[in-house]
Structure 1
Amino acid sequence: MTVIALVSAKSCGVTTSALAMTLSSTRPSLLAECDPSGGTLRAGFFQAQITAGTGLYHLAVAERAGEDALAQAFADHLVRLDDSGHRQILPGLTDPAQAPALERTWPALAQVMRVLSDEGGYDVVIDAGRLALESGRLHPTLTPAPLLHGADLVLLVVRATDQSLALARHMAEPLRNELTDRGTGAEALGVLLIEDGSRRAHEVSEALRLPVMAALPWEPDTAAYLAGTGRAPRKLNRSALLSSARTALGHLQAAASRRALHQQYPPTQPVPAVRPASAVPQVAGVLQRLGQGRVDPRV
């Protein structure tokens, strides 16, 4: 299906937006909280009900033990958002000091995300957190760069304010260059606009020289619930935020599909033989392990 990575220049609602998309997806969905500065879902949305014994850091430990250990750990450290296992979350780091241990693990995780999307039918949303630069490039430790390189789409989350635009403007060009040189191309990059401010989509697009691929309304009550600071609104599933997230996800899926077709069948070029992602030993067994115990939501 689709792998979408969300990033920001500063805290702009990346985690809340990623969670809204995961909850609103009509297909199996996974939110991977991969912010090197630490995750917030554990203390926020989950109200500290998940201990440090579950989450992203343990995958770094497992990856060093071998391929099968990584597959087992990935499945074991997911947290279900519903009884069917239709929606799941990989909680993030509990301490930013753990981030260096993941530097060699990111490429393997990028392969796992690809398999879940292409063969498992999952919508994968990656919370990549706040961007960090070093000499004009993505910082190798403070940004999960391999996850951005492998994503179908990378969305720079921006609020509709002058301050947010000013901060994002300095990140847009380095991120565009990074995806051109090491990712799937500059066309993968766009903006997810949080409509909290006076700036309109066309103004944001012009300022950043990026397309606004999706927009979400500013709905404080639902956002507070997703952040763990408020109660669930009445008729949560009908909230403007989740409804818009569902629509936005559909648009993004369509955009990613168009890009994939264009890349797979370029004009006048033969179609190359592609090695299935699941054939890569590093991710062997992931789909099988995730499928154990998951109930088909259509039943």
Structure 2
Amino acid sequence: MPVTALVSAKSAGVTTAALALTLASKRPSLLAECDPAGGTIRAGFLQGQVGAGYGLYHLAAAERTGSDALANAFANHLWPMDEAGHRKLLPGLTDPAQAAALGRTWPALSEVMHVLADEAGYDVFIDAGRLAIESGRLHTTLTPAPLLHRADLVLMVVRGTEQALTLARHLVDPLRTELADRGSGPDALGLLLIEDGQYRAHQVAEALKTPVLAALPWDPDTASYFTNGGRPPRGYGRSPLLRHARTATEQFEAAASRRHIQQQYPPRPANPQLAGVLQRLSEKGGSRG
């Protein structure tokens, strides 16, 4: 299953989208809240059920002990988001000042996430927060850059508004270059459209020169529940956001599978002689009748 990282140019609903995808997936799923600016799920959606003793920050100390210690700490710091334990959360930082301690932890944590996806069949979603660019590159402290480098898909979450597109337009090219130079390839980058605004998917794709891999509807009732917690809105399980999120997870799996196949079997270089033969055959066929 794919490891999918979600980012944004500014507040665009990354955490809400990541929660929807994690909760809607038909497979076991994990949401890793890796925003260096701090996590919001424990205080919002979970309404303080998870204390500071759980979460991302504690993995930094474990990683310094070794890979086994990190793997054990990772498993011990996952919080179940459903009764069956099929949806899990790695709670994020409680203080942005903690982000500096994670610099050397990100690569090892990425390995653990890929093992969970590849060997245990989990859909893994990474809430990577707001992109921070410095001198044309991902900021090494304000973004979890190694997680983006290794992800099967990197989704920029955008709304269909002029303001959102203007902000995203300045970040798409540096992010694509980063993935080309240090990541799994520029084709890992796609868009996740939040359908809030006047622009439709094809217009957003054209404006940002990047494919829209999925779209989620603007569903304020469900979004408010994911942001603030409390009692689920009426019809929550059949809400537009969850229904479309379920479809989106399938679209992401298909996109990641296509990338994997293309990486295994790259297109054969064109043969100029063969191309000439095909052209002549085409011309002869077209002249008949």
8 Å CA contact retained: 1:221, 1:230: no
Shift of 1:230: 5.6
Q: Aligned residue for 1:227?
A: 227
Secondary structure of the corresponding residue to residue 149 of structure 2: helix
Q: CA deviation at 1:237?
A: 1.2
Aligned counterparts of 1:67 and 1:197: Cα–Cα separation in 2:
45
Map of 1:58 onto structure 2: 58
Alpha-carbon distance between aligned partners in 1 of 2:77 and 2:156, rounded to the nearest angstrom: 27
Check if 1:154 corresponds to 2:158: no
Deviation at 1:265, TM superposition (A): 2.5
The answer to whether the 8 Å contact 2:46/2:229 transfers is no
**1:49: how far off?**
1.3
**CA–CA separation in structure 2 for the residues paired with 1:201 and 1:267:** 28
What amino acid is aligned across from residue 196 of structure 2 in structure 1? D
SS at match of 2:215: strand
C-alpha distance in 2, partners of 1:158/1:268?
A: 35
The amino acid across from 2:85 in the alignment is: G
Structure 2 CA distance, aligned partners of 1:161 and 1:266?
Answer: 37
Encode CA deviations 1:180-200: one digit per residue, 9 max, x unaligned: 001111111011000011111
Q: How far apart, in 2, do the equivalents of 1:172 and 1:266 lie?
A: 25
- 2:45 aligns to what SS in structure 1? coil
**What residue number does 2:18 align with?**
18
Deviation at 1:231, TM superposition (A): 3.3
- Give 1:261 shift: 1.1
Q: State how far apart, in whole Å, the 1-side matches of 2:205 and 2:231 are.
A: 34
Q: How far has the Cα of 1:229 moved from its partner?
A: 5.3
Determine the structure 2 residue equivalent to 1:208.
208
Alignment match, 2:105: 105
Larger Rg: 1 or 2? 2
2-structure distance, mates of 1:48, 1:211:
37
* Cα shift readout 1:103-135 (whole Å, capped 9, x = no counterpart): 100000111111111111000000000000111
1:45-194 to 2 correspondence within 5 Å?
A: 45-194=45-194
For structure 2, which runs of at least 5 residues remain unmatched after alignment?
270-289
Count of aligned pairs: 269
The two structures, once aligned, show a CA RMSD in angstroms of: 1.2
2:67/2:108 contact within 8 Å kept: no
Does the residue aligned with 1:82 lie in a helix, a strand or coil?
coil
1-side partners of 2:219 and 2:229: how far apart? 14
1:60-107 deviations in whole A, cap 9, x for unaligned?
111011221101100000000122221100000000000000010000
Gaps of 5+ in 1: 270-299
Equivalent in the alignment of 1:263: 263
If the length of structure 1 is used for normalisation, what is the TM-score?
0.88
Q: Which residue of 2 aligns with 1:274?
A: none
Amino acid at match of 1:132: A
Whole-Å Cα distance in 1 between the matches of residues 223 and 230 of structure 2?
Answer: 8
Cα distance per residue 1:156-191 (max 9 Å; x no partner): 000111011111111101000000001111111011
Counterpart AA for 1:226: F
Q: CA deviation at 1:44?
A: 0.4
Instruction: Tell me which amino acid in the other structure corresponds to 2:258.
Output: R
Query: What's the secondary structure of 1:64's corresponding residue?
Result: helix
Matches within 5 A, 1:30-45: 30-45=30-45
Aligned-pair CA distance for 1:26: 0.5
Is the contact made by 1:224 and 1:230 (CA closer than 8 Å) also made in structure 2? no
SS state at 2:171 partner: helix
Residue 296 of structure 1 is matched in structure 2 by none
